[in-house]
Amino acid sequence: MMNGVVSIRNKNGEEKVKIERPGGSSCPIWSIAWNPSKDEHNDILAVADWGQKLSFYQLSGKQIGKDRTLTYDPCCVSYFSKGEYIVLGGSDKQASLYTKDGVRLGTIGEQNSWVWTCRVKPDSNYVVLGCQDGTIAFYQLIFSTVHGLYKDRYAYRDSMTDVIVQHLITEQKVRIKCRELVKKIAIYRNRLAIQLPEKILIYELYSVDSSDTTLMHYSIKEKICRKFECNLLVVCSQHIILCQEKRLQCLSFTSVKEKEWLMESLIRYIKVIGGPPGREGLLVGLKNGAILKIFVDNPFAITLLKLSTSVRCLDMSASRNMLAVVDEHNTLLVYDINTKELLFQEPNANSVAWNTQCEDMLCFSGSGYLNIKASNFPVHQQKLQGFVVGYNGSKIFCLHVYSMSAVEVPQSAPMYQYLERRMFKEAYRIACLGVTDNDWRDLATEALEGLDFDTAKKAFIRVRDLRYLELINSIEERKKRGENDNELFLADVYAYQGKFHEAAKLYKRTGHESRALSMYTDLRMFEYAKEFIGATDPKNSRMLMTKQADWAKSSKEPRAAAEMYLSAGEHLKAIDIIGDHGWADMLIDIARKLDKAEREPLAKCAFYFKKLKHHGYASETYSKMGDLQALVQLHVETCHWDEAFSLVEKHTQFRDDVYVPYAQWLAENDRFEEAQKAFHKAGRQNEAVKVLEQLTHNAVVESRFNDAGYYYWMLSMQCLDIARESEEQMDEMLKKFERFQHLAELYHVYHSIQRYTDEPFSSHMPETLFNICRFLLSNLTKDIPLGISKVNTLYALAKQSRKLGAYKLARYSYEKLQDLHVPSRFQESIELDSLTIRSKPFHDSEDLIEGMMCYRCSTNNPLLNNQGSVCINCKQPFIYSASSYEVLPLVQFYLEEDISDEEAVSLIDLEVPHVDRKAARWQDMSSESQSLKLDEGVDDSEEDPFTTKMSFEQGGSNFVPVKVSHSVLRSMSRRDVLIKRWPRPLKWEYFRSLLPDVSITMCPTCFKMFHSEDYELLVLQHSCCPYCRRPIDEPN
């Protein structure tokens, strides 16, 4: 508005934002324009007023930056279609170009009157002006490329006022804001020169580490505040070079002109080609075709060449020996600088660059193609748009329109050109610039075939081919040892490459036929190997057959391999294959054909027969070999015991080898009695004892007390056998026998107590349990055996005593329990019973006490005797029934010293004519037991001699045994006597029944006494003796 106010309204005309300018009505707003750029974060409004100011505002009304002062009254503002530039026109009769930030760049066109309107054609660089005098002017703006390049650093102008430095390898970029029109850019090493309208800025690359070439931090080093007019600008380490038509000026960074050169023609091209700081060299090309070299510290120019046509582009090779020139006819000319000789020329070139890492390579562009030339080889072409401006290693820097790009170009073509001429070292140098893995492999292979091992080694290292590296190392080692036959080395190379026939020819030529043969056989080329050796060499033919069999084995053709091994006489290898595949028919054929002297193949056959479980074939093979030891081992391993026993009968030296494993096998299969016999036969009683001791311990730990008792009984018998056979161990074994017999009986009876306390029901009568508990407590010493619980025994005794009326004994048991650690499950019951038992009379049942009468002295013994299972009066040991544990009416008697067991039995067996007994007879119960059955008591008016012998002196503290003489033995009836016929070295034990009407049965194996009825019932239940488990059908 004229009053200097800007009003921003919506489409309905409602005011949203109001911007008041400082000048008010003295600065009327004449033109406004919105920035059309979509890249800006905010909407930007450009405002031009007749206070000769240009300002920028956000949509919110906030001003961006400061006001830009103009030198005229602006009449029109127009943005380029992308918002990067602004066109202003007004009272100065011209249209000017500004950046989007308001920095003036230059004049577009001058007119004869005020410019009232200007517009930019969308998406183009065309500008139209409208003037006060009616003139319409149409302009096209051309934005030239302002840039500079040094090796891999490229600097170019952006947005007319900024400079961007780009690292072409790492793609890093850094922007330098100048806020003025950038006119010229030059870059060299760590220097960057930027020419602005009124000054030149010199920047330095800041680097802490001088070896780091990727840093991109530039800082201002110098400012030259002068206006210069020049066509070209070049910067060196300590100088800037200004080029204006024919004139070259060298200025220091402090604006002092040090040198000036005046050329005979216009300068078309200038380039810094390096040199020491302050003494750099320049390459200059003139329009008249002259090419000069100038040093900044030398006032005189050096003429290198004089061409007939104008120079467009120049470059010098890395070693300064060759010069490449592109003339105005687009022809590339390459000269030797020293001799001035034209080396070659190529058409269709507009720019050229030498490779900075390789002396003989250059590239040039033209007609849409990139051309790479190495040495004097033909040119390699590929499509590429733009101008080549640099060539570093495998990267070519190309400028296309306004953008610079680094193109990775494989150097394959020049490398192969060198390879064709067998120039391996030069090819390797080219490959180092950048080629594919396949190219490296080709180079390595060609160099190896050309016997250039050094180059081949380097190339194979590149592709990490260890196999060829090992070959090269082996060849080098052989060379050190003095080998120098190149044909032999080449043969090895061919073999590695798969050229086997060529390798074989070379091997043959060098006299190394064996290597060719090994090569063919290793490669399984047996037909070629046969052709190579012919039919004249039987040794090699057999070796070949063996190797062919090896191959057949590894290639999973085992049957063919086995047959080949047999043909080659390699029986062991054939047997291994046949055995591994389980072909028993082939194996037995081989075993039968082999001579018995060939023990190793036969042994291997037998081994595989055992592995395949062909016992018959293995037995046949061992028999053929005559290896009895192995045959016995075979029978044992396969558990063919009958064959093993028959062999032992003929060859007793193998007794231990058979019976010991047999016993172990029986023990593992829970056949312990048979195992015992087997150990006996092998003479290994100690092993038998150890096995049984372990089994006994396990049974106790697992609370199988019945089994524990049985095992202890077996152990005792085992000890008795050892005592009989070994004089040295007799005393020790007899002690063990007594102890194991005692333990066997304790565990046997405790089994019933344990079942009563742990199980809900019991199969025993109360009287039986009562007797068992009393027996166990009477026989327990201070050292209670493992697993037997005194608490359980006293608890069971207390319970049964109460039931049977032995209240005094029950009260005694409960009192004893108070001193012991009682399990919680019994605690409440015991405490209650301890109280309630006190309500019962303090005496035991008379019937129970009468049951403990001594049959020798007729003394009634207490129910529980601290002295053990003996009479308190006469000390005669009680004889118990092994089932009900009642006291049996038996008295043990001993023979006088001069009477042997056989004599005693013969005397007892004599008939006594004056004794008349009614219906007294032995009753045979079964084949293994005998019972004494008397129908009525003996009515004998004469006194029995045995009764006389039973008398003893009253009051004695020592036990007086009953000893009988010949006459007493003769007076005895066989029916009244029971004999325990213990094996040596034990003596027989004799017992006389005092109540003939009580039927007693004794087991002939364990010699335990039973009431006949109890024994018969138990044998019927278990089909064996309840104590020693002797089967009823086993002969005595």
Among 450-459, 692-701, 823-832, 1004-1013, which is the least confidently predicted range?
692-701
Instruction: Say how far apart CA 414 and CA 377 lie, in whole Å.
Output: 8
pLDDT tens figures, 376-427: 888 888 888 888 888 888 888 888 877 788 888 878 888 888 888 888 888 8
pLDDT given for residue 565 in this prediction: 58
Looking only at the bridges linking them, the beta strands covering 85-90 and 94-99 are antiparallel
Over range 674-696, report the average pLDDT.
67
Looking only at the bridges linking them, the beta strands covering 290-295 and 302-306 are antiparallel
pLDDT tens figures, 773-807: 888 788 887 778 888 888 888 888 888 888 888 88
Look-up of token digits 């409208």 = 130
pLDDT above 70 covers a percentage of the chain that reads 78
Q: Where are the alpha helices (DSSP H) in 421-481?
A: 424-431, 437-449, 453-463, 466-480
How many helices and strands, by DSSP H and E, does the chain display?
31, 48
**pLDDT range class, residue 597, cuts 50, 70, 90:** low
Would you call 961 helix, strand, or coil by DSSP? Answer: coil
Q: Where are the alpha helices (DSSP H) in 612-704?
A: 615-625, 628-637, 641-650, 655-668, 672-682, 685-701
Residue 758, burial from CB neighbour count under 10 angstroms (0-12, 13-18, 19+): exposed
pLDDT tens figures, 460-509: 898 888 888 888 888 888 888 888 777 777 777 877 777 777 777 777 67
Chain-centroid distance of CA 122 in Å reads 67
How many of the other CB atoms lie within 10 Å of CB of 368? Answer: 10
Is the bond preceding 197 in cis, omega lying within 30 degrees of 0? no
End-to-end CA distance of the chain: 144
pLDDT tens figures, 603-628: 666 666 666 565 666 666 665 665 66
Over range 639-652, report the average pLDDT.
67
Instruction: Say how far apart CA 396 and CA 382 lie, in whole Å.
Output: 12
**pLDDT range class, residue 537, cuts 50, 70, 90:** low
pLDDT tens figures, 764-775: 788 888 888 888
Over range 555-582, report the average pLDDT.
59
Cβ neighbors of 986 (< 8 A, separation 6 or more) are 720, 734, 737
Q: What is the 3-state secondary structure (H, E, C) of 126-189?
A: EEEEEECCCCEEEEECCCCCCEEEECCEEEEEECCCEEEEEECCCCCEEEEECCCCCCEEEEEC
pLDDT given for residue 986 in this prediction: 87
State how far the alpha carbon of 668 is from the alpha carbons of 299, 665, 691, in Å: 114, 5, 10
Q: For residues 121-137, b (16+ Cβ closer than 10 Å) or e, as one string?
A: eeeeeebbbbbeeeeeb
State how far the alpha carbon of 471 is from the alpha carbons of 186, 433, 456, 468, 507, in Å: 54, 27, 11, 5, 16
Strand order in the sheet with 217-224: 184-188, 191-195, 200-206, 217-224
State how far the alpha carbon of 868 is from the alpha carbons of 503, 858, 879, in Å: 104, 18, 12
**Cβ contact 654:646 at 8 Å:** no
Phi and psi dihedrals of 737, rounded to 5?
-60, -45
Among 705-709, 712-716, 945-949, which is the least confidently predicted range?
945-949
Cβ neighbors of 671 (< 8 A, separation 6 or more) are none
pLDDT of 936 > 80? The answer is no
pLDDT tens figures, 310-361: 998 999 998 889 999 999 999 999 999 999 899 988 999 999 998 888 888 8
**Cβ contact 371:379 at 8 Å:** yes
Looking only at the bridges linking them, the beta strands covering 890-895 and 962-964 are parallel
Q: What is the 3-state secondary structure (H, E, C) of 893-916?
A: EEECCCCCHHHHHHHHHCCCCCCC
Instruction: Say how far apart CA 49 and CA 55 lie, in whole Å.
Output: 9
**pLDDT range class, residue 590, cuts 50, 70, 90:** low
**Cβ contact 844:861 at 8 Å:** no
Cβ neighbors of 837 (< 8 A, separation 6 or more) are 798, 802, 807, 810, 811, 814
Instruction: Say how far apart CA 892 and CA 959 lie, in whole Å.
Output: 12
pLDDT given for residue 208 in this prediction: 57
Over range 654-664, report the average pLDDT.
68
Phi and psi dihedrals of 113, rounded to 5?
-145, 180
Cβ neighbors of 123 (< 8 A, separation 6 or more) are 81, 82
Would you call 498 helix, strand, or coil by DSSP? Answer: coil
pLDDT given for residue 118 in this prediction: 93
pLDDT of 203 > 60? The answer is yes
Nearest to residue 932, comparing CAs of 990, 892, 978? 978
Instruction: Say how far apart CA 875 and CA 868 lie, in whole Å.
Output: 10
Look-up of token digits 């037991």 = 929
**pLDDT range class, residue 576, cuts 50, 70, 90:** low
Cα angle: 889, vertex 894, 896; to 5 degrees: 150
Instruction: Say how far apart CA 384 and CA 678 lie, in whole Å.
Output: 100
Instruction: Say how far apart CA 613 and CA 608 lie, in whole Å.
Output: 8
User: What secondary structure does DSSP assign to 362-426, as a single string?
Assistant: EEEEETTEEEEEETTSPPEEEE--SEEEEEETTEEEEEETTEEEEEE---HHHHHHHHHTT-HHH
Better-scored residue on pLDDT, 673 or 94? 94
Nearest to residue 678, comparing CAs of 662, 690, 691? 662
pLDDT of 940 > 80? The answer is no
Summary mean pLDDT of the chain = 81
State how far the alpha carbon of 279 is from the alpha carbons of 276, 297, 392, 835, 925, in Å: 5, 5, 24, 128, 139
Token pair listed for 685: 């009683």
Phi and psi dihedrals of 859, rounded to 5?
-90, 135
pLDDT given for residue 596 in this prediction: 65
**pLDDT range class, residue 110, cuts 50, 70, 90:** very high
